[in-house]
Amino acid sequence: MDSLRSEPELLHRLASELPKDIQFTVYYLSTPQTPAPSLHIEVHGQKPDKTLCSKHFLVIAINQSSNEDCQERKEILVYAVEVLIYLTTHNITFFISKADSTGYLDKLKLAKQKPSPIRTITTTFLQFLIDTHQKVDVKSTISLFARAQDQYLFPGSVENPGKHVLNDRGLIRWWCRVLNPILESSQADINSFWESVRGYIIIPGLDNRESLSYTPSRTKNLWTVGHPLLEISGIKGIASPRNLIPRFPDDPKARFLDELDEEIVKSGNSNGQWKNIKTLDDFWEMMAFRQECSAGRLVGFIWIVLSPNQEPIQIEPSYINSKVITSIDNSELASRNENHPELLEYHTLHDKSQSRSITCDEQVCSRSSSPIKMTHKTNSNTSSKPLKRPLSNKKRILTGKIIARKPRFKIYNIPNQSKNSFLKHRGDNQKKNCGAGQIIIDDADYHRIMELLLNLDFSRLERAISSSSRWIEEARCAGRNNLMTEFWGQTIVGTKIVQVSTDSSSSGTATLNPNLIRKKGVKTSVY
């Protein structure tokens, strides 16, 4: 039976936003949600948040021949973006880890348009992830660190003349424009799932007015110069900056936090607090002097916080009793499990013990309320079946040869299923519950594929085509090992009609009237 797939929805969204009649190939792989360390250091006396993490990697390719004489067209990677999704009971964090292009998109010779296809793909992919992972009463947060570099994912691509490398200021503006449509669409839709949507930006070394100038001018009211760390941490009570700042991989904040924690160990401080940083304002002030933030280039910390609508349950006072309260608790727990199927296993043991206690209480109440009925039932049972002898407490002595039992895979009490069928069942459930890639692989294969990409060569067109073919084949092999039976890669054709500017001021050659040309220093005579 075919499971519900999320990739067709992503393909439809991308096709509707890309230029008309232009063909692209989409490669989308992800990892299942697995337990991960909490993003925040737990407050003393509290347990850390139970966190699940999944990695999502989207790659866009085009068909291109190695030279003009060759008729055979091969695929070449043009863009890739990696997003890490952290799921807790109170917040879903979308951390944009890396994004990079090879510069070979110009081989299509597309007309200049705004927004560019790469910017459109990034916005559409992020909006897709948010829509497929949103939960009731759970905030969603997009977090990223904008730092300009020549290349992130495609080695040697900086040598390609067609690659447009943005400087530090241009990159911060570009990311604000990528995220701004998410703010606008959520704010404009009356029936939106979100109650409030807000953008936050911090550029160390700049004041509020200068930082706000990097956001789109038409929606400056949706942006705030600051951070939402207090809002998205989910920590109750008083907490120090050490407990409020998340720790993402390859993030300058995390590296600074590690150095501050080393000072705690060296000083022997028992309270677990930093010595020189007492507030979040102190932390951001110190971040401005870090080498990554003060090396002559600007960097930006950007967040988008989406708060869902809250609809509390209203109950009339006359109907409040023990039965109603019990039903409300059960419905609330059921809705929580439905919204978080990944965390259902944490409540299973509690549910079983609670159901047993409720069953025993109901039996006691029924016996006390209707003794005649219970007596009649007991008499009928005794007349039809003989009484069994009580079992003795004597332990059975085991004798004979000891035969070792082979280990078995735990498949959640699914009878008569092998390991392969269980893995396929887990992958199908993953695609049903939330947005997932065409290939779902484990963390080891994902890390191997990413390391392979970082060791390829995209400096020239021939090398880029060869490197693209190798990476696509390695990803296909990883998918086959994880029970992928369909063709790897999905082709889409753009359907959006792009308006090409025909203004004479922007195209064509400007001409001057020869009668208006006058040489310097020469006076005209009047007749």
DSSP 464-504: HHHHHHHHHHHHHHHHHHTT--SPS-EEEE--BPP-----T
Structure tokens at 62: 């085009």
Length of the chain equals 527
Q: Which residues neighbour 4 within 8 Å (Cβ) at sequence distance 6 or greater?
A: 431, 432
d(C-alpha 324, C-alpha 401), whole Å: 58
SS3 content of the chain, % helix, strand, coil (to 5): 40, 15, 45
Structure tokens at 204: 């160390």
d(C-alpha 241, C-alpha 236), whole Å: 13
Q: Which residues neighbour 144 within 8 Å (Cβ) at sequence distance 6 or greater?
A: 95, 96, 175, 301, 302
Q: CB–CB of 277/241 below 8 Å?
A: yes
| Given the residues 168, 251, 428, 445, the one annotated as active site | 251
The alpha helices in 387-460, defined as continuous H runs, are 419-433, 443-453
d(C-alpha 81, C-alpha 29), whole Å: 11
Q: Which residues neighbour 442 within 8 Å (Cβ) at sequence distance 6 or greater?
A: 31, 32, 482
d(C-alpha 506, C-alpha 457), whole Å: 37
Q: Tally the C-alpha atoms within 13 A of residue 17's C-alpha that lie toward its C-beta.
A: 21
Structure tokens at 263: 């000072």
Does residue 309 come out as left (phi exceeding 0), alpha (psi in the -120 to 50 range) or beta?
beta
Active-site residue flag, 251: yes
d(C-alpha 305, C-alpha 229), whole Å: 10
Q: Which H/E stretch holds residue 62? A: strand 51-64
For the annotated catalytic residues, the residue numbers are: 251
